[in-house]
């Protein structure tokens, strides 16, 4: 990136559903969409510029269910 170029990032909507609805708009514009709390397993499948650091529900929920079952 040159010193005169700029990068634009959309720091996402709170919910996965709202963010996923907006993904095509950001993707078409070439904007990075950072979904900081988006845990839907398909959120990052919305395009090349869609990113989240949240653990997705597909990975997290089975561990939580196991923990609850063990705890009684």
Taking the complete model, does pTM exceed 0.85, yes or no?
A: no
In tens digits, the chain (72 residues) has pLDDT values of 455 567 777 776 778 999 999 999 989 988 889 888 888 999 999 899 898 888 888 888 898 899 999 987
Edge-to-edge strands, sheet with 9-11:
9-11, 32-34, 50-51
- Pull the structure tokens for residue 38: 């988006």
Q: What sign does the CA torsion over 56, 58, 61, 66 have?
A: negative
Cβ neighbours of 9 (radius 10 Å): 12
β strands within 1-72, DSSP E: 9-11, 32-34, 50-51
- From CA 23, how far away is CA 53, in angstroms rounded? 16
- Pull the structure tokens for residue 34: 């950072």
């Amino acid at each position: 990136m040159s010193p005169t170029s700029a990068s634009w990032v959309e720091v996402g909507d709170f919910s996965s559903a709202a963010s996923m609805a907006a993904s095509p708009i950001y993707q078409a514009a070439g904007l990075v969409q950072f979904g900081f709390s988006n845990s839907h397993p398909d959120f990052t499948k919305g395009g090349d510029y869609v990113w989240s650091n949240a653990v997705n529900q597909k990975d997290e929920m089975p561990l939580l269910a196991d923990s609850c079952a063990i705890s009684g």
